[in-house]
A and B are shown apart, each in its own frame.
Chain A
Amino acid sequence: MTTGLHPGFLLFIVACAAACTSGRLRQIIMLAGTALTCYSAWQLSPEAHWTFVVSEHTLNLLHVDRLSHVFGLIFSFTAGIGCLYALHVRHSGEHAAALVYAGAALGVVFAGDLITLFVFWELMAVASLFVIWYGGTARTQAAGQRYLLVHIFGGSVLLCGILLLRAEGADLAVRALTETVHRNSAAFWLILIGIAINAAIPPLHAWLTDAYPEASTSGSVFLSAFTTKTAVYVLIRLFPGAPILLWAGVVMTLYGVVYAVLSDDFRTLLAYHIVSQVGYMVAGVGMGTDLALNGAVAHAFCHILYKALLFMGAGALLHATGKRKLTDLGGLARAMPATLFLYMIGAVSISGFPLFNGFISKSMIISAAAQDHLPVAEFFLIMASIGTFLSIGLKLPYFAFLGPNRGIQPKPVHLNMLLAMIVGASGCLALGLYPEWLYSRLPYDVSYHPYTVDHVVDALQLLLGTTLAFWWLLPQLHGEPGINLDTDWLYRKPLRLAFDRLVTSARQTGTRLEMVRLHLLATINPYLQNPFLPDLHLGFHTRGLTSNTPYNADTHRLPIGATILWVLIFFALTVLYLIL
C-alpha cells in the first residue's frame, strides 16, 4: 500500500535514465531529476507511507517523521549539488552509481523496519563501491577491494544482529533499542558494531580514510555526504543515550584531528576530518538529551553541506593541478581566487566561525555537554575544534594557496564545479545567518540560541588563539611526504602476511599430498594393468611422474582395473556377509 512519492525511488529512476543517455540530455535529466527529488522530499508528510506485507513481516519502505524528513531534505539537496558538480563527467556509470548511492541513503533514512533498512544499507555499500572504483587508478582498485571486504563484514554483523533480535521476539520496527528489553543483549551489540563500522568509529574507521581520497573528484563529494551520515541517523534512531557512544565520539573528534595534522594528501586530511566531525554527532547521540540529539541532527545537516563544499574545493584543486600532496602545491591564490574564496567559506564553516553553519550546530553539542555536566567531554570537544580550524582553516589553505609559489599553471575549473560550490557556500552562509530555519525542523522542541555574547566571544577567542599558535608553529607544520599508519595496518600487514602464509602452507601441503598420491599410483599401477594390452605400460609411465608433469588422464589416474578391483572386493564382501 503506497501513499506519497519516495524520493529514493525517484533517484533510482533518474539513475537509470542517466545510465541510458548522454550529453546535454543526461545533464538535463540529472538536474531536473534531483530537483524533483528535492521537491518530493520537501512535500513529504507523516501521512505518506509505503507498506508491503511479506509473509509474517510488514516492510515499511516510507516512514516519515521530523527526524527522517530533515535527513531526507539534506540528502536530496546534496544529491542535487553533487550532480551539478559532476555534470562534466562523461562516465554514465559513475553518475548512475552515485545516484543509486544517494537513493539508497534515502531508502535507509525512510525505512520503517530493520529488514528494509538492511537492504538499502547494503545497496548503499555496493553503489558506493562503484563510485570509488570510478576513480580509475590501481590504488583505487585496491582501496575499493579493502572497502568491499570491510563493508561485507559490517553488513554481515548487522544482519546477524537483526536476525538475533528477531529470534529474541522483537518486531523489527526501527525504534530506540536503548529503551527496550534488548538493551545490552548480543543483538544490541552486533547491530551497534555493524553501524559503528559505517559511522567510522575508531578502530573501525580506516576504510574511510583509505578509500575516500582515492575516489574521483566528483565521487568523493557524494561519498563525504552519505555513508557516515546514514550511520549517524541510524545511531540516533536505535542508540540514543548509549553511554559508550559519548566517549567513542570524543575519541573520534581528537583522533581525526591528530591524523589530519600529519596528512600531506589534502583529501586524506579532509577524510580524517569526516571522522572528527562525525565524532561530535556520535558524542551527541551518546549524551542522549533532547538538545544533544537535536545538535547531532543539526551538525549532520550542516556537516554534509560544508564537507561537500570542502571536497568540491579539493576536487577543483586536484582537477586544476593534478597534484594531491600539499608538499607539491603552493602559491595558487592568484591563479584560483574563486576556488580559494569558496573553499574558505567551507573552512570557516567547519571551524565554527560565527555567521556560518558550523557555529550554529557544533555549539549546540558542546552546550549540551556543558548542560549535562560533562566538563571533560566539553573540554575535549572544544579542543578538537581547535584542531579543525588548524588543519582545514589554516594549514590546507596556507600550504596550497598562499605558501611558496611552485610555478604550477593550473587548468581552468569547469563552470558547473564553481556553480555547485557557490550553491554549497550559499547554504553554509544562509544557515549561519538564519539558524531558525533548521532549528524549527529538528526532531525535538528545544529552545536554543547560538548567538549569545559568551558563545560568540568564546568562539572568536579560540580561533584567534589558534591562529597565533599557527603562525608561531608554521615551520613545524610543513607537509612531510609519506603515509601514516592507521588501523588498516592490521589487515594490510599482519593479516595479509598470515593469509599469504596460510595460502603458501596450503599449497605446499597440496604439493606434498600430490607427491604421495603419485608415489602410491606408481606402486599400484603395475598390478592393475590390463594383462591383454602389454603395450600400455601404465605403471612404467607413472613411475616417472613429478608434481610438475603436465596432467594426463592416462598417467595421473588409477586405471579402470582399480575400480573393477574395488567392485570385486565389495561384491566378495557382500557375498561373504550373506553366506555367513
Chain B
Amino acid sequence: MQRMWLVVAGLIGLATFILELAYRPAHPYSMWHTWPIFDLIFGALGCTVIVLGAKWLGHHWLQRQETYYGDDL
C-alpha cells in the first residue's frame, strides 16, 4: 500500500516536472517561477522548517501544563 502511494507521488512529481518544462511562464513575476521543481523543494523544506521551528518554539518557550492557568480556566 505504501509502495503504491510512493509510485503515485513519483508519477505526479514527474508529470508536473514535464509540464513545467513544457509550459514555462512567459513573464514570471518572481525569479523562482522559472526554476524547475522549485515548489516541490519549497514544499518539503518549508514543511520541515515549520515543523522544526514550531517544535523548537514550543519546547523552549510556549508549551505549559494543562493546569497552567488553573483548573477549568
Binding site for B on A (CB under 8 A): 137-139, 142, 257-259, 261-262, 370-371, 373, 375, 378-379, 382-383, 386-387, 390, 453-454, 457-470, 472-473, 476-477, 480-486, 492-493
Name which residue of chain B comes closest to A325, CB basis: B66
Query: By the criterion CB–CB under 8 Å, are B42 and A465 in contact?
Result: yes
Q: When the two chains form their complex, are residues A465 and B43 in contact, meaning their CB atoms are under 8 A apart?
A: yes
- Cα distance A262–B50 in the bound complex, in angstroms: 10
Supplied contacts A386-B42, A465-B44, 20 more A-B pairs, CB within 8 Å: A262-B55, A262-B62, A378-B29, A379-B30, A454-B25, A458-B39, A461-B20, A464-B16, A465-B46, A469-B47, A470-B47, A473-B52, A480-B63, A482-B63, A482-B68, A483-B63, A483-B65, A485-B61, A485-B64, A492-B73
**CA–CA, A467 to B48, complex, Å?**
11
Pair A454/B47 contact, Cβ less than 8 Å? no
B57 at the interface (CB under 8 A from A): yes
Q: Taking each of A379, A461, A480, A484, which has the highest tally of chain B beta carbons within 10 Å of its own beta carbon?
A: A461
Top 3 nearest A-B pairs (CB, nearest first) are: A465-B43, A469-B47, A461-B39
1/0 contact trace for B11-44 toward A, CB 8 Å?
0110010011001110001110100011111111
Q: Say whether B7 faces chain A, with CB atoms less than 8 Å apart.
A: no
Residue picked from A138, A378, A473, A477, most chain B C-beta under 10 Å: A473
Q: Which of B16, B31, B53 contacts A258 (CB 8 A)?
A: B53
A382 x B12 contact (CB < 8 A): no
Q: A472 to chain B: which residues have CB within 8 Å?
A: 48
* Centre residue among B12, B37, B39, B49 by max chain A CB count within 10 A: B39
A453's nearest neighbour on chain B, judged by CB, is B23
- Do A461 and B43 touch across chains, with their CB atoms under 8 A apart? yes
Q: When the two chains form the complex, which single residue of A386, A453, A468, A482 contacts B9, counting CB atoms closer than 8 Å?
A: A468
Majority-rule SS of A interface residues = helix
Find out whether the CB atom of A469 lies under 8 angstroms from the CB atom of B43: yes
Closest to B71 in A: A138
Most buried by B among A379, A459, A462, A480: A462
Q: How far is the CB of A410 from chain B (nearest CB, A)?
A: 24
Given A473-B48, A483-B68, A485-B62, answer yes or no on A467-B9 (Cβ-Cβ < 8 Å): yes
A139, A465, A473: residue with the most chain B Cβ atoms closer than 10 Å: A465
In angstroms, how far is the closest chain B Cβ from the Cβ of A392?
A: 13
Q: How many angstroms between the C-alpha atoms of A460 and B52 in the bound complex?
A: 23
A259 to B58, CA, bound (A): 9
Other-chain residue from B51, B53, B63, B69 in contact with A492 (beta carbon distance below 8 A) = B69
Q: How far is the CB of B7 from chain A (nearest CB, A)?
A: 13
Contact check, B64 vs A484: say whether CB atoms are below 8 A apart: yes
Complex CA gap A142/B39 in Å reads 44
Nearest-CB distance from B54 to chain A (Å)? Answer: 4
Smallest CB separation, A486 vs chain B (Å): 8
Q: How far is the CA of A227 from the CA of B22 in the complex (A)?
A: 45
- Which A residues are in CB contact (< 8 Å) with B9? 464, 467-468
Q: How far is the CA of A262 from the CA of B54 in the complex (A)?
A: 7
11 A-B residue pairs with Cβ-Cβ distance under 8 Å, sorted by A, are A137-B72, A258-B54, A375-B31, A382-B42, A383-B42, A457-B19, A457-B23, A462-B43, A468-B44, A492-B69, A492-B73
Considering the chains assembled together, what is the distance between the CA atoms of A103 and B33 in angstroms?
44
**Interface-central residue, B13, B24, B45, B50, by most chain A CB under 10 Å:** B50
**B29 and A371: CB pair below 8 A?**
yes
A483 and B64 contact, CB distance less than 8 A: yes
Knowing A375-B30, A457-B20, A473-B48, say if A466 contacts B43 (CB, 8 Å): yes
> B16 contacts A482, CB within 8 Å?
no
Residue of B nearest to A458 (CB): B39
A373 neighbours in B (Cβ, 8 Å): 29
Contact across chains for B53 and A465 when beta carbons are under 8 A apart? no
Question: Please, how many angstroms separate the alpha-carbon atoms of A483 and B25 in the complex?
Answer: 45
Residues of A within 8 A of B23 (CB): 453-454, 457
A464 — which chain B residues lie within 8 A by C-beta? 9, 12-13, 16, 40, 43
Identify the closest chain A residue to B54 (Cβ): A261
B45, B52, B58, B65 interface centre (most CB from chain A within 10 Å): B58
Q: A residues within 8 A CB of B57?
A: 258, 262
Residues of A within 8 A of B72 (CB): 137-139, 142
On whether the beta carbons of A390 and B51 are closer than 8 Å, the reply is: yes
Q: Give the residues in chain A near B53, CB-CB below 8 Å.
A: 258
| Given A453-B23, A461-B39; A482-B47 close (CB under 8 Å) | no
Residue in A142, A370, A466, A477 whose beta carbon sits within 8 Å of that of B46 in the complex: A466
Taken together as a complex, chains A and B put the C-alpha atoms of A383 and B41 apart, in Å, by 12
A386 touches B64 (CB 8 A): no
Alpha-carbon distance A45/B38, docked complex (angstroms): 46
Chain A: minimal CB distance from B8 (Å): 10
Docked-complex contact B20 and A370, CB < 8 angstroms: no
B30 (CB) vs chain A CBs: closest residue = A375
Within the complex, the shortest CB–CB distance from A174 to chain B, in Å, comes to 33
Q: Are A262 and B63 in contact (CB under 8 A)?
A: yes
Asked if residues B29 and A386 are in contact (CB atoms below 8 Å), the reply is no
Q: Which residues from chain B contact A462 at a C-beta distance below 8 Å?
A: 39-40, 42-43
* Inter-chain contacts of B47 with A (CB < 8 A): 386-387, 390, 465-466, 469-470, 473
The smallest beta-carbon distance between A358 and chain B, in angstroms, is: 16
**Across-interface contacts of A390 in B (CB, < 8 A):** 47, 50-51
Report A-chain residues with C-beta under 8 Å of the C-beta of B13. 461, 464
Contact B54 A465 (CB under 8 A): no
The distance in angstroms between the C-alpha atoms of A378 and B29, with both chains bound, is 10
Residue of B nearest to A370 (CB): B29
Minimum Cβ distance to chain B for residue A110 (Å):
37
Tell me whether B43 and A453 are in contact (CB under 8 A). no
Report Cα–Cα, A477/B48, bound state, in Å. Answer: 11
State A482–B16 Cα separation when bound (angstroms): 41
In the complex, what residues of A have CB within 8 A of residue B24's CB? 454
Question: Which residues of the partner chain B approach A473 to less than 8 Å between Cβ atoms?
Answer: 47-48, 51-52
**Could you tell me the distance between the alpha carbons of A579 and B43 in the complex, rounded to whole angstroms?**
98
